[in-house]
Amino acid sequence: MPVDDRDDETNRFRRSPTGPWVAPPARAPVSPAQPPRPSAPSRAARRRPIWSVSVFVLLLLGCGIRAYRDLSRPEAWAYWKDQYFSPSLSASLIPKSDIDGTGNGRPALAIHGVIGAAGASWLRAQIDENHLVPGDAILLSSPGGDLGQALIMGEIIRAHGLVTAVGTADTSGDVRPAYCASACVLVYAGGKLRYGVEGSRLGVHRFVTTTPVSDPVADTQRIAGMVLGYMTKMGVSSTVVEEMSQTREVRWLDPKAALAMNLITNPVVAR
C-alpha cells in the first residue's frame, strides 16, 4: 500500500502510514534565556576594599604626623597662638582722628600691644575689616616685637597708601602721645606720610636674633643689611640704622633728628 508521509502544508495533522491523520508530536516549550548568575567575588577582589582603607589610614596618619611636627616647633605654635587664640595686638577704629592738627578728621586704626608672630596677617585682616582706604591713618603704640612681622606690616601699610603716627586716640578723635620702640619703628616707617605728634617718642636699638646661631656676628650683619634695605625703600635715611647699631638698649630719638632722617615726614604738631 502506498504510503504518503509528507506533511500537509495546510493542516497541522499528517497522514499516518498505518491509520488515520494524527497530530505531530508537540515541541518542548522554549524557556526564556536566564541571566547569568553572578559569580562569587574572588579573594583578591575581597581584599581590595581592605587595602583602600589601609592606604587612607596611612595617608591620614602621615598628614597628622607632619602637622604635629610643624606645630611642635616653637615658632609655629607661637604663630597659631597669635593668629587664632590670643592675638598680642589689639585695635580700635577711630572714625575721625585729628593727627595733623588741622581739625580735618580722618579714619584711623589705633593699634596697641606687642607685635606677635602673626602680626602681619592680623593687620591685613584689620585693614580689610575696617575698610581703610589710601589716606587713612594707622596710630601706633607698641614696645616692638617680632622683627620679621614688623617689616611685613610696614609693607602692607605702604601698599594700602596709609599714613602713620605714634599716639592713641579716643572716640572724639583727639590724639594723645604714645611711644613706638624697636620693631614698631619699622611699622611706623611704612607710612606713606609719617606724622609727628608732640610728646610721642620713637625708640631704636640694635636688632639681634633670639635663637642660637653658629655665627652671631654674621647674623647681626645680615639683620642690619635687611633693615637698611627696608628703610631705604621706605625713603628713610641710612643714619637711622647707624643709630640702631650703636646700642642694644632703646635710644629715644630727638624729634628734630627723626625729622632730619626723614623718619618723620610731617613735623611735630603742637597740641
What beta strand segments (E) does the chain contain? 14-15, 21-22, 89-97, 106-113, 137-141, 163-166, 168-169, 175-176, 179-181, 194-197, 201-204, 251-252, 266-269
Per-residue confidence (pLDDT) for residue 2, from 0 to 100: 47
| Nearest-angstrom CA–CA distance, 223 and 216 | 11
Number of other CB atoms surrounding residue 238 within 10 Å: 12
**252-265 pLDDT per residue, tens:** 999 999 999 999 99
Per-residue pLDDT of 84-136, as tens digits, reads 788 899 999 999 998 887 778 899 999 999 999 999 999 999 999 999 999 99
Q: Which residue has the cell 611642635?
A: 72
Q: Mind listing the pLDDT tens digit for each residue in 168-183?
A: 998 888 899 999 999 9
**Report field, pTM of the whole predicted structure over 0.75:** no
| Residue 35, helix vs strand vs coil | coil
230, amino acid identity: Y
DSSP 83: I
Tell me 84's DSSP state. Answer: I
Residue 38: its pLDDT value, please?
57
Query: Which residues on adjacent β-strands are paired with residue 240?
Result: none
Query: d(Cα 155, Cα 160) in Å, to the nearest integer?
Result: 9
